[in-house]
């Protein structure tokens, strides 16, 4: 891959250059010291991937990502050390089309780079995501569990999202009242290091309480849960939230397909599933499994997606009962759950 670096801190630039030099299949395309320069360079020499900082002079990483995705679309990985106090900017950049976020590698006193493996793993994942893909079937991660449904009276909304997901999730969930007596579970492709920041940010956007989905947790009404590790979240036969490394070979971690298919096997209460904006195909097979179980399924439409990948794959499989613009999804969900909203 030809990789561009956009960062005004020379120490960070040198660290990223060293990391790229260790991988024989990656080469440095160019370096820009601010977002405006990056936009101009993309117009003349489009790389395979951009490592984009957030806080820069002239034009920040959010505005640069937005402009690049409109004028010369290109995979963007946010690489920033400015996490604390800037989570809104991170999720705004992801809403503009950035694929993921990772902390800037740090050069320690011994001359070693902390975070090198993480960066290279992220680049490898993005390379897989941007390759042409073919439809895949069920991931079958939960076949080791009992197949009987955990019958329950609770109501559940499940959402899967990736590129552009954070602001899309906020848009859908903002209309849910604090008195909503169902539960909501989110699978968003995001690095585990930033999951807590996403929970905190979403909590400011919603009336319902937002929290991390914890291992072995029983689902409670009125709570929004977020998968928060690089392992896959799934629902056990007892209806509890569990994490698993398997299947290890999946590009998407946590995987929407893994969770959706486990819910299709083990949830017996009222349920609506939604697949939002994102690159790739994750969630399409899982949404189909749910529809085949009689679940009401929704896919976000192309016009309102930051990246029309995951919903497009679901539509191609006829996995969605409805295909809706982002700003109509919450109204449909709440209408279907009128009877479970406490007045």
Concerning whether 189 is annotated as a catalytic residue, the answer is yes
- The DSSP string of 210-266 is EEEPPTTEEP-TTEEEE--SSSEEEE-TTSEEEEE--STT-SSSS-HHHHHHHHHHH
pLDDT of residue 139 exceeding 70: no
pLDDT at res. 289:
96
pLDDT of residue 119 exceeding 90: no
More confident call, 338 vs 51: 51
Q: Which residues contact 134 (CB under 8 A, 6 or more apart)?
A: none
pLDDT of residue 223 exceeding 70: yes
Taking residues 233-244, report their average pLDDT: 93
Q: Tell me the per-residue pLDDT of 280-312, one tens digit each, with 9 for 90 and over.
A: 899 999 999 999 999 999 999 999 998 899 999
From the list 50, 37, 58, the residue with the least C-alpha distance to 93 is 50
Q: How far apart are CA 12 and CA 102, in angstroms?
A: 13
pLDDT at res. 109:
55
Residue ranges and CATH numbers for the domains of the chain are 2-129 (3.40.50.2300), 155-340 (3.40.50.180)
- Helix (H/G/I), strand (E/B), else coil: 191: coil
Q: How far apart are CA 304 and CA 307, in angstroms?
A: 9
Provide the H-helix boundaries in the chain. Answer: 10-21, 35-44, 61-71, 87-96, 116-129, 165-173, 195-205, 256-266, 284-292, 310-316, 326-336
Which of the residue ranges 38-42, 100-104, 139-143 would you say has the lowest mean pLDDT? Answer: 139-143
Whether residue 162 contacts residue 125, with contact meaning beta carbons closer than 8 Å, is answered with no
> Diameter of the chain by CA atoms?
62
pLDDT at res. 132:
53
pLDDT of residue 136 exceeding 50: no
pLDDT of residue 87 exceeding 60: yes
Taking residues 1-30, report their average pLDDT: 92
pLDDT at res. 153:
62
Taking residues 50-72, report their average pLDDT: 95
More confident call, 157 vs 193: 157
- How many other C-beta atoms are found inside a 10 Å radius of the C-beta of residue 16? 25
- Peptide bond connecting 40 to the previous residue in cis, omega within 30 degrees of 0: no
Marked catalytic residue, from 189, 231, 257, 301: 189
Concerning whether 162 is annotated as a catalytic residue, the answer is yes
Taking residues 192-201, report their average pLDDT: 87
Q: How far apart are CA 225 and CA 227, in angstroms?
A: 7
pLDDT of residue 134 exceeding 70: no
pLDDT at res. 108:
65
Q: How far apart are CA 262 and CA 266, in angstroms?
A: 6
∠ at Cα 171 (86, 259), nearest 5°? 90
Dihedral angle computed from the Cα positions of residues 154, 185, 280 and 7, in that order, rounded to the nearest 10 degrees: 170
Q: How many CA atoms lie within 13 A of 210 on its CB side?
A: 22
Which of the residue ranges 36-45, 107-116, 275-284, 314-323 would you say has the lowest mean pLDDT? Answer: 107-116
Q: Tell me the per-residue pLDDT of 240-276, one tens digit each, with 9 for 90 and over.
A: 999 999 888 788 889 999 999 999 999 988 899 999 9
Average pLDDT score, the chain: 87
- Residue 262: phi, psi to the nearest 5? -70, -35
- Strands 183-188 and 223-226: what pairing? parallel
From the list 332, 307, 4, the residue with the least C-alpha distance to 165 is 307
Marked catalytic residue, from 162, 183, 262, 330: 162
Marked catalytic residue, from 282, 301, 304, 330: 282
pLDDT of residue 175 exceeding 50: yes
pLDDT at res. 111:
59
pLDDT of residue 342 exceeding 80: no
pLDDT at res. 141:
44
pLDDT at res. 61:
96
pLDDT of residue 169 exceeding 50: yes
More confident call, 77 vs 128: 77
pLDDT of residue 152 exceeding 70: no
pLDDT of residue 200 exceeding 70: yes
Concerning whether 338 is annotated as a catalytic residue, the answer is no
């Amino acid at each position: 891959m030809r990789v561009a670096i956009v960062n005004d801190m020379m120490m960070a630039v040198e660290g990223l250059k060293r990391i790229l030099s260790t991988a024989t299949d990656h080469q440095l395309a160019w370096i820009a010291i601010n977002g405006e320069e990056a936009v101009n360079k993309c117009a003349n020499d489009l790389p395979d991937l951009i490592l984009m900082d957030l806080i820069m002079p002239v034009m920040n990483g959010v505005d640069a990502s937005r402009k690049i995705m409109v004028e010369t679309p290109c995979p963007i990985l946010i690489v920033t050390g400015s996490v604390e106090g800037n989570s809104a900017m991170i999720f705004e950049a992801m809403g503009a089309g950035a694929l993921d976020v990772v902390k800037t590698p740090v050069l320690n006193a011994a001359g070693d780079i902390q975070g090198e493996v993480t960066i290279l793993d992220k680049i490898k994942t993005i390379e897989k995501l941007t390759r042409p893909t073919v439809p895949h079937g069920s991931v079958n991660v939960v076949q080791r569990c009992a197949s009987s449904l955990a019958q329950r009276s609770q109501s559940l909304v499940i959402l899967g999202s990736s590129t552009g997901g954070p602001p899309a999730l906020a848009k859908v969930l903002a209309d849910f009242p604090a008195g909503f007596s169902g539960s909501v579970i989110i699978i968003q492709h995001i690095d585990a290091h930033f999951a807590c920041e996403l929970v905190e940010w979403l909590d400011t956007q919603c009336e319902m309480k937002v929290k991390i989905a914890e291992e072995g947790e029983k689902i409670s009404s009125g709570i929004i849960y977020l998968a928060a590790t690089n392992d896959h979240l799934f629902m056990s036969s007892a209806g509890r939230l569990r994490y698993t490394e398997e299947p290890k070979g999946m590009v998407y971690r946590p995987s929407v397909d893994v969770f959706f298919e486990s819910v299709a096997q083990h949830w017996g209460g009222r349920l609506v599933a939604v697949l939002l904006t994102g690159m790739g195909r994750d969630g399409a097979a899982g949404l189909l499994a749910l529809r085949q179980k009689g679940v009401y399924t929704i896919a976000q439409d192309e016009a309102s997606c930051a990246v029309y990948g995951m919903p497009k794959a679901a539509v191609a499989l006829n996995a969605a009962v409805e295909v809706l613009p982002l700003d109509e999804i919450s109204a449909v969900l709440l209408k279907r759950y009128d009877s479970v909203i406490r007045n």
